[in-house]
Amino acid sequence: MSTPDSPPILATWHNLALRVITFVLPVTLLSIVLAVSSVALHQHLMRDHLPEEAWRLVTDPILELTLVAPLTLIPPLLFAAGALWFVNREVVRPLRRLEVKAAALTWGDYEAIAESVGGIAEIQRLQRELVEMAQRVRAAQEGLRDYIGAITTAQEEERTRLARELHDDTLQAIIALKQRLQLTRKAVQDSHACRPLAELETLVEQTIENLRRITRALRPIYLEDLGLVTALEMLARETAQNRPLVVEFRSEGNERRLGTEVELSLFRIAQEALNNAVKHACAQKVVVTFAFAENYVELAVSDDGIGFLVPSNPMDLAPKGHFGLLGMHERAALIGARLKIESKPGSGTRLSVRL
Q: What is the DSSP string of 124-152?
A: HHHHHHHHHHHHHHHHHHHHHHHHHHHHH
**The predicted structure's pLDDT at residue 331:** 85
Confidence of residue 289 (pLDDT cuts 50, 70, 90): very high
Bridge-based pairing of strands 349-354 and 285-292 is unpaired
Average pLDDT over residues 217-221: 76
Yes or no: say if 248 and 285 are a contact pair by the CB < 8 Å rule.
yes
In a domain, 210, yes or no: no
**64 within domain boundaries:** yes
Which residues form the domain of 17?
8-119
Length of the chain: 355
Residue 123's Cβ-count burial label (10 Å; 0-12, 13-18, 19+) is: buried
Q: Judge whether residue 276 has pLDDT over 60.
A: yes
- The verdict on 114 and 242 lying in the same domain is no
Contact 201, 224 (CB under 8 A): no
Across the range 285-299, mean pLDDT stands at 91
**92 within some domain:** yes
CATH number of residue 335's parent domain: 3.30.565.10
Of 32 and 288, the structure prediction assigns the larger pLDDT to 288
Question: Is 40 domain-assigned?
Answer: yes
C-alpha–C-alpha distance, residues 114 and 116, integer Å: 6
Q: Which amino acid is at 200?
A: L
Q: Count how many domains the chain has.
A: 2
Give residue 7's pLDDT.
Answer: 46
Q: Are residues 233 and 344 in the same domain?
A: yes
The SS3 call for residue 1 is coil
For 147-159, write each residue's pLDDT tens digit: 677 777 777 778 8
pLDDT score of 291 = 92
| Closest listed residue to residue 106, CA positions, set 341, 345, 354 | 341
Alpha carbons 73 and 88: distance in angstroms, whole number: 23
Confidence of residue 15 (pLDDT cuts 50, 70, 90): low
* pLDDT tens per residue across span 319-338: 666 777 888 888 888 888 88
Quote the pLDDT of residue 260: 83
Taking the C-alpha atoms of residue 251 and residue 295, their distance in angstroms, rounded to an integer, is: 16
pTM: 0.57
Inter-helix orientation angle 121-165/323-334, to 10°:
100
Helices (H), the chain: 8-49, 52-58, 61-68, 74-87, 93-106, 121-165, 172-187, 191-218, 221-226, 228-240, 260-279, 323-334
Is residue 194 situated within a structural domain? no
Distance CA 171, CA 195 (A): 24
Residue 143 and residue 181: Cα distance in Å, rounded? 55
| Within a domain: 311 | yes
In this prediction, residue 29 carries a pLDDT of 67
32: pLDDT strictly greater than 80: no
> Rounded distance, CA 190 to CA 129, Å?
85
> For the residues 229-248, what does the mean pLDDT come to?
87
If one compares 88 and 248, the residue with the highest pLDDT of the two is 248
